[in-house]
Every structure is written in C-alpha cells, then in structure tokens.
Amino acid sequence: MFYELNKHNLLVEKQKPMPLIYDEVKLDVGNRLDFLIEKKFVLEIKSVETLNDVHLAQILTYLRLSNCKLGMLINFNTLQFKNGVKRVINSTL
C-alpha cells in the first residue's frame, strides 16, 4: 500500500510515531499511525474477524493526536472489500 500511495506522488509517512503526553509525562512514541497521508489523512489497516469499538477508539485517538479531520479504517479480513472499509471523522476539530 505504501508503494502504491507513493507511486501517485502522495506524501506518505508509514508507522508514524505520535507522542503521548499525560500531565507532565511525555512519551516520544506513545502510538504509531499505520499511514499519515499528506499530513491530513490517517489510514489504519487491520486484519481482524470484525472491526469493533476498540478499533474505532484507536483511530479517533490518532486523529486527535495528529490534528487530522478525516481517517479511514480498513479491515482486509472480509469477503467483500467494501464491508471492511469505515470512514471516520474527527468531530472535535
């Protein structure tokens, strides 16, 4: 996927470290985004039986940490690709 996105001249950062700050404690790599595209779009890849609330909470956290408004959660473990795609919007921005 990284190769294909790069091939289309998109700025793509894979396994992008995101700091985690709690009170006065800062962890430089608290989380890692699968893909950050054009510094605007978070793409999180899964291969699980079903997407659940934990996966949604994860991408919402990544959207907040990266100050992005839009993300996509893709589960490749489905019979039909369209059933594994979920668009996620950060409504706090």
**CATH for 13:** 3.40.1350
What integer pLDDT is reported at residue 93 of this predicted model?
59
What integer pLDDT is reported at residue 40 of this predicted model?
95
Strands 41-46 and 25-37: antiparallel
The fraction of the chain above a pLDDT of 90, given in percent, is 72
User: How many domains does one find in the chain?
Assistant: 1
pLDDT tens, 30-73? 688 999 999 999 999 999 999 999 999 999 989 988 999 999 99
Strands 12-22 and 25-37: antiparallel
pTM to 2 decimal places: 0.84
What integer pLDDT is reported at residue 31 of this predicted model?
82
Residue-number span of the structural domain to which 33 is assigned: 2-89
Q: Dig out the tokens for 83 from the structure.
A: 């059933």
Q: What average pLDDT is seen over the chain?
A: 90
Phi-psi group of 90: left, alpha or beta (phi > 0 → left; psi -120 to 50 → alpha; rest → beta): beta
